[in-house]
Amino acid sequence: MDASMPFSAMGALELRERYASGALPLAQTTAQLLAAAEASQERLSAFAQLDARIIALQADHLEAGRMRGESCGPLFGVPIAIKDIIDTIDFPTEFGSPIHQGRYPIADATLVRRLREAGAIVFGKAATSEFAIATPAPTRNPHGHDRTPGASSAGSAAAVAAGLVPVAIGSQTNGSMIRPASFCGVYAFKPTRGLIPRTGVLEQSPTLDQIGVFARNIDDLAAVVEVISGDDGVDPATRGLAPRRLLELSRSDPPLPPRFCFVRTPWWSRMSEEAREACEAFVDVLEGVVVHTELPPIVERTVSWHQTINNAELAHCLRNERARSPELLGGALQERLRAADAVSAIDYLYAVDRIPHVATAFDEYFEHFDAILTPASLGAAPPISESTGDPIMQTVWSFAGLPSVNLPLITLADDLPMGIQAVGPAGQDARLLRACRWLVKTFLERTGN
């Protein structure tokens, strides 16, 4: 551990060790992080909710326990931003909508409860788009304030990228984890669908909704997901899934050097020329480790199947808001809901039936490769006035529910980041993280970084 490293640049596990040992004063450094977050709001707007009193009370409670000799949890003192679609009893959870302004849940979401039990500090609510799908949050990209930070997990990605917190929780129904991570230049991990319970999280599309984590390094991704993973007895998607031992396994040496395939995807031509060249250069650096291959034709059809499911379930989940307060729904959201009215039951059921077929279409790839690599986005973050970017590079993997990681390894013009997305087999999240760690190390060694 670098003793000269400023605490605001430390990862979650580094902070935890210093807090638990007393080398860093928990209350004081938490107050400094809060001051930085508050000062950044005007230019970044990464947070929907910050409350100095609530944050200070959590830090004081943890420090008092440590002083009494109580054991420090695996995330002791770690400040974590929570996307504003995830219930917290001490901060409002408003779903990015005026309809739910001032809404205080009666209980923490399962994942929030598990974070608190591990000693983490709930460090405010990260800004999100309207119901995590429509009108964008006001958040700006720390790498360029005229650039979008990405989709509905924008606040979570921006808060980590700006050094305001070491970890943030987000969600992905289509591309709302990996794309913001690509645009903001941070690590992100969307585990296998069902590994993290969604109890107490806004339902936008129960078939497709998934929880994930943003962080500054792979260790922190593994440590946080390890804490919040596993069956909670409520979310049916988690049924029978034990918590994963991710950190130890992801840190272990692979028995053989991992192998990777890079796929340009059917949407390669939609990428910027600069981004395509950067991806080709990335593959060239990893000659002998990464080979080119193609995706099966079925991936192109997932786009319409994903949209069918998402639209139909969105309309069902927002039926009360649509009936009671239609005037408070944004124009883009109302357009999505009107499109949902045209979805037939047959089309919806057929699309749902395709999910396991798409997921198993990659089994043969994973017999030969530890991970499939793709661009994490079509290029650098577009201007905030244009859009939040296109989620197309995540659609097939979100549809299939396969684990995916953003690796912030590419820098484009104007120092704007872009990620490489690594996708692994369902249920083998630790193997994917281990392969990613090895890949990052190899890439940095070969590029002299």
Strand partners, 422: 373, 405
296 in a domain, yes or no? Answer: yes
User: Are 243 and 268 in a shared domain?
Assistant: no
Calpha distance 229→238 (Å, rounded): 9
User: Are 169 and 275 in a shared domain?
Assistant: no
Residues with a known catalytic role? 83, 152, 176
Q: Of 226, 248, 270, which residue is a domain's last?
A: 248
User: Are 195 and 292 in a shared domain?
Assistant: no
Q: Is the pTM of this model over 0.75?
A: yes
Strand partners, 293: 263
Residue range of the domain that includes 171: 7-248
219 in a domain, yes or no? Answer: yes
CATH of the domain at 171: 3.90.1300.10
User: Are 300 and 224 in a shared domain?
Assistant: no
Residue pLDDT tens, the chain, 449 long: 344 457 778 999 999 999 999 999 999 999 999 999 999 999 999 999 999 999 999 999 999 999 999 999 999 999 999 999 999 999 999 999 999 999 999 999 999 999 999 999 999 999 999 999 989 999 999 999 999 999 999 999 999 999 999 999 999 999 999 999 999 999 999 999 999 999 999 999 999 999 999 999 999 999 999 999 999 999 999 999 888 899 999 999 999 999 999 999 999 999 999 999 999 999 999 999 999 999 999 999 999 999 999 999 999 999 999 999 999 999 999 999 999 999 999 999 999 999 999 999 999 999 999 999 999 999 999 999 999 999 999 999 999 999 999 999 999 999 999 999 999 999 999 999 999 999 999 999 999 88
254 in a domain, yes or no? Answer: no
Q: Of 248, 270, 305, which residue is a domain's last?
A: 248
253 in a domain, yes or no? Answer: no
User: Are 271 and 224 in a shared domain?
Assistant: no
54 touches 111 (CB < 8 A): no
Q: Of 199, 220, 248, which residue is a domain's last?
A: 248
User: Are 197 and 314 in a shared domain?
Assistant: no
Helices (H), 12-51: 12-21, 26-44
Running DSSP on this structure, what letter comes out for residue 365? H
Instruction: Read off the tokens for 9.
Output: 């640049």
User: Are 269 and 401 in a shared domain?
Assistant: yes
The terminus-to-terminus CA distance of the chain in angstroms comes to 18
User: Are 105 and 175 in a shared domain?
Assistant: yes
Provide the number of structural domains found in the chain: 2
pLDDT digits (tens, 9 = 90+) for 400-425: 999 999 999 999 999 999 999 999 99
User: Are 362 and 220 in a shared domain?
Assistant: no
User: Are 223 and 270 in a shared domain?
Assistant: no
